[in-house]
Structure 1
Amino acid sequence: MSKTPIPAAIRRLVEERAGYRCELCLVPIDITFFPHEVDHIIAEKHQGKTEPENLALVCWRCNRHKGSDLGSFDPVTRRFCFLFNPRTQIWSEHFTLQNHEIIGTTPEGRTTASLLQLNTNQRKTERQRFMPSPET
């Protein structure tokens, strides 16, 4: 949870830039029970600043799983890896969506998908029910 309040103008900028979707799992802002949150990519406790270049729009599930983490261990290589950063990286270069499952295609993608638990049955069902299939 952010210590520094996010000004309304910055929140609007972050929402618009994200296309009103979670920048990690892609769930649209208008289908979730809990509102999406503006997250510090680098948490304030790690000296992350409250400025647009360090903020991302994320759903509450992704934000709870990420917490203040900067990285974790790649489930394939077992080596430490930083998490996907939506300000400096392109989603489609690190993930693919297959049958409503988000597949990490790089160490950052795999680490992020694993840590954020992007493919639990509940999350896949949510994507299946409310998001058009990219395969069609």
Structure 2
Amino acid sequence: MKITKLKFMEPVPLTEMPDKLNEAYAALVTLKDLPLFKGTRPAKMMAYMATGLPIVYSGAGEGADLVKETGAGLVTPPEDEKALAEAVIWLADHPQTACEMGMQGRKFAEDHLDWNVLVKNWLHDVQELL
């Protein structure tokens, strides 16, 4: 296919992920079309949001809804390779919008996923129950 800008890499240790993600222009989350995944928010998606990368989310349910609601990227139907390819190409062709999507994801991560925020919310919920 003469594709020159696509790189498949071997798995790397978690400690190397920041450097690898720094090389990327987008993050990819793909899920099969199974009922199990409709109620999930993949952990890697949260890490991708924190990096400020726009997300291409191929799946349905909670994770897809979060990407849409936060404006953190594009969502495609699960197991739809044509839509997935179109989303990846669209982000490459629209770098300014892709950057804005990444910033939206980063803002969500800072406002809702920061450890201090999570603990504060958890403590609030415990107090409410008591």
Which TM bucket (shorter chain)? under 0.3
Of Structure 1 and Structure 2, the greater helix share is in 2
Query: Which structure's relative contact order is higher, taking Cα pairs within 8 Å and 6+ residues apart?
Result: 2
Which structure has the bigger radius of gyration? 2
Of Structure 1 and Structure 2, the greater strand share is in 1
> TM-score by structure 2 length?
0.25
> TM-score by structure 1 length?
0.25
